Amino acid sequence: MGNRKRPWYVYVGAILVLLAIAVYIYPFDSTLYVNGGKDAIGAQILIDGILVDKMRSFAHGADATISLRPGDHKITIISLMGQTFEKDFSIQGEYYIVVVFNDSTK
């Protein structure tokens, strides 16, 4: 009785359960893409109040790519001229933000 082989689907099922638990405990990072005009070049990017990156020059403006945990976040972008852009967002997978600074600080 102890020499009986288990069917292949028992092993596959066990592996799938372990993968599901791993994804639930340690979710994959999401990717935030931030784009803006030339006035955003060099701007500081803060996520939930923590400085994470700066906008870099790209083609016709500025961009940044940031890895984040899925969930709710707040982004604050401060330009070199002191202009501020803020947005609350929820991310799962990929999320795109286009930065447009208001003229009210000029």
pLDDT for 60 beyond 70: yes
d(CA 67, CA 88): 16
pLDDT for 104 beyond 60: no
What is the CATH architecture of 28-105?
A: Sandwich (2.60)
Residue 49 Rama label (left phi>0; alpha psi -120 to 50; beta): left
Mapped onto helix, strand or coil, the DSSP state of residue 31 is strand
pLDDT for 40 beyond 60: yes
Residue 106: per-residue pLDDT: 43
Confidence of residue 82 (pLDDT cuts 50, 70, 90): very high
pLDDT for 83 beyond 50: yes
In the DSSP assignment, the letter for residue 80 is T
pLDDT for 34 beyond 70: yes
